[in-house]
Structure 1
Amino acid sequence: MKFLDLAKVYIRSGGGGSGCVSFRREKFVEFGGPDGGDGGNGGSVWAEAVEGLNTLIDFRYQQHFFAKSGQPGMGSQRTGKTGDDIVLKVPVGTEIIDEDEETVIADLTEVGQRVLLAKGGNGGWGNMQFKTATNRAPARANPGQEGVERTIWLRLKLIADAGLVGLPNAGKSTFLAATSNARPKIADYPFTTLVPNLGVVGIDGHEFVMADIPGLIEGASEGRGLGDQFLAHVERCAVLLHLVDGTSSTITKDYRTIIGELEAYGGTLADKPRITAINKIDALDAKTLSTRRKALEKASGGPVFSMSGVTGKGIPEVLRALYAEITGERAEAEVEEGGPWQP
């Protein structure tokens, strides 16, 4: 299945049915009066977050969703049938954006969340509704309201607790494969990862979801390489794990390159808690590792972990640090929302 995280969709709700102009006609019933029924309401267009989806690929093959209109009213006080609704089933984490690509209409972050995108038109009144004491035989009825037509964008942002960032070939996919059941493509050339991957990571009996995105290079914010189009998938993460290739001779420059691209991306991504780790220490001697680790600590202004995605050395310490940050962020969020705090 191909990965698609952005789709343009055209929707239209159904129009309401027209009211009916009718008069009661029965044998031996004189002056039966108006009995025209109302038109049925048009169908609405909804969006709902469902389980089992992790891409918007379905919307590549169908972009138009038109709900049915309501039926017109009929005689004998019969109301027209209401048009059927249409439900767009999207993955959890989908943002619904207006046509201007800036205004967020809804953000579906939980299974079962629904949002009304286009309300169906109301059905028109039949002439029975216009009967008054002074107008016993009204010969008018209302037309139904027209449906709403609009263009929207669907943008998927994966739901993950921790996100992996780093240059291409920093060992992000190897780390994800070593810590979870995810099986991303791994090779010895840059840009092996072309789409985001998710994996469930376990440590000390606890689990959290980690997202791996394609590597960034200098100028990614300007569209170089794969650009920064996939950074949206780590916006929801509580913490970022910045992996730095320990075999690189320009380790501090590599670190600053990623930080610069995060800052250029904007939003709150650059302000998220970050854990920095030197990867591939199995290919370094003790002296080189110590020198490069001290240089990276000076550049980052904080502690730096040492690990190897191939041998597994140092990985448990990194996972514990990630989980501690995640639980801390969750506790702060519950306190802000007024919910119960749990350690």
Structure 2
Amino acid sequence: MDTLGLFYFIAGIVFRLHSSNKSSLYSGRVIFCLDYIIFTLRLIHIFTVSRNLGPKIIMLQRMLIDVFFFLFLFAVWMVAFGVARQGILRQNEHRWEWIFRSVIYEPYLAMFGQVPSDVDGTTYDLSHCTFTGNESKPLCVELDEHRMPRFPEWITIPLVCIYMLSTNILLVNLLVAMFGYTVGTVQENNDQVWKFQRYFLVQEYCSRLNIPFPFVVFAYFYKVVKKCFKCCCKAKHTGNAACCVTNDDNETLSWEAVRKENYLVKIHTKANDHSEEMRHRFRQLDTKVRCSVGGEGGLGAPPGATPGPSP
């Protein structure tokens, strides 16, 4: 999102500075408006600090994934209804924008309750369409000899009813159920999710530059130039093109070495403790055996001891 925001910001500046005509100024203003949306939505990231609002952001992210998979199911119903509706009502429509509106856009709006008005012959208005296709209006339906719509209402109206029943009741409720399951799953691990969020937030701001947007683009440009210059200088001395070993890699290798040493020391200490424990147990067992044999006057009795009187 940061990269997209920077890209729109630079593009908006280019269009605004290129003020040769009004269209460039207007294009720059539109790009700045879109960039404003991106930077405003970027503020949602600050809510990850809150224990209550942080997990809600995770819920929104997973719900967007649910919507993405839901759109695959909805696209099947939408294309099936849109193509059938376009074929029944109109023919020879050559304008791609109006084909898209009739096949995709209007069936999509029907999911939100907007009933198509061109499927009922009794309320069809010929003043809102064109017969030639040269105006900015949808193409009129075929008419019979009485100047009435030719399409069969006993097909179009039930088709709309079945489509709206499938989308508004079945698919929408399926999406609501998916949202409920997602929210419940995150809510069960609310505290753990927030702790992970806070950890990644701290890690991000530790590695982030102190310069605010959009001036951070100059800092990134400086870092790229500096890194390339360092690689080129090192390549001249070593003759190796792949010379850029980052500090992160060095820190990772050092951390792995320290952890390895700690693990080996822990294993060695644990083995020594186990050996000492086994020796201690053997001594205790040997002492018990000697005491029991000595009490009976056997071979293990101490020297000078006399056996007791026989019964």
Give the TM-score normalised by structure 1: 0.16
Over alpha carbons, which structure has the higher Rg? Answer: 2
Larger strand proportion of the pair: 1
> TM-score normalized by structure 2?
0.17
